[in-house]
């Protein structure tokens, strides 16, 4: 497994945590070219058999729906031919916002697969839809995708 993080994601979890867990370099910056033999975002995009965006913010969903590529994650997502799975996590009002609904529908139309968020207690204190699906279930869905087709 290889991990990419947005700059904002690194505010929540230090890249070193994912580096140790994945035993791989963590990619956070499009211009941090660790290997001069390749262009990192293309190399990563070609390497992946599947890309999971989790937890997917309203922001990255909007960027993906519009084909934006202004950081390592979104640039790699545009460059990959691997199936892309998105597991959103956000406040219930955000996930129900017409703009977010529109962006999710656009991504469905583009062939992106979703691991829909659960109902439950949200980190912001609200109770409702928007809770990231349990990591075990995300892994199970991916396992089913590869082995039960
Ligand atoms: C404590 C905290 C929790 C947040 N939780 C979420 C969240 O669950 N979903 C979301 O879409 N945005 C959330 N945000 C807002 C995003 O961090 C913000 O939109 C950010 O710009 C997302 O950037 P990225 O998509 O590049 O990672 C949160 C912000 C803070 C400060």
Tens of pLDDT along 88-147? 999 999 999 999 999 999 999 999 999 999 999 998 899 999 999 999 999 999 999 999
| 149 pLDDT higher than 70 | no
Output the pLDDT for position 148: 78
- CATH superfamily entry for domain 3-147: Flavin prenyltransferase-like (3.40.50.1950)
Sorted by where each begins, the domain ranges of the chain are 3-147
Residue 77 beta carbon below 6 angstroms from any ligand 1 atom: no
For 57-83, the pLDDT digits (tens) are 999 999 999 999 999 999 999 999 999
Nearest ligand 1 atom to alpha carbon 73: 26
Nearest ligand 1 atom to alpha carbon 9: 27
Pocket test for ligand 1, best of 4, 54, 56, 57 (most atoms within 8 A of CB): 57
Average pLDDT in the 43-69 region? 98
pTM for this prediction = 0.96
Output the pLDDT for position 134: 94
Cα 57 to ligand 1 centroid, rounded to whole Å: 6
For residue 112, give the nearest of 88, 89, 85 by alpha carbon.
Answer: 85
Q: Which residues pair with 44 in a beta bridge?
A: none
Give the integer Cα–Cα distance in Å for 53 and 114. Answer: 9
Give the integer Cα–Cα distance in Å for 78 and 67. Answer: 7
Give the integer Cα–Cα distance in Å for 52 and 121. Answer: 23
């Amino acid at each position: 497994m290889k991990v990419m993080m947005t700059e904002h994601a690194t505010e929540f979890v230090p890249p070193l945590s994912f580096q140790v867990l994945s035993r791989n370099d963590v990619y956070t910056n499009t211009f941090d070219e660790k290997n001069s033999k390749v262009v990192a975002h293309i190399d990563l995009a070609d390497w992946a058999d599947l890309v999971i965006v989790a937890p997917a913010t309203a922001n990255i969903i909007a960027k993906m729906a519009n084909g934006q590529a202004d950081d390592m994650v979104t640039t790699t997502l545009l460059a990959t031919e691997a199936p892309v799975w998105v597991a959103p996590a956000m406040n219930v009002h955000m996930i129900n916002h017409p703009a977010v609904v529109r962006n999710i529908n656009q991504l469905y139309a583009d062939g992106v697969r979703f691991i829909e968020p659960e109902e439950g207690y949200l980190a912001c204190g609200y109770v409702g839809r928007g809770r990231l699906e349990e990591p075990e279930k995300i892994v199970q869905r991916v396992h089913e995708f590869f082995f039960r087709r």
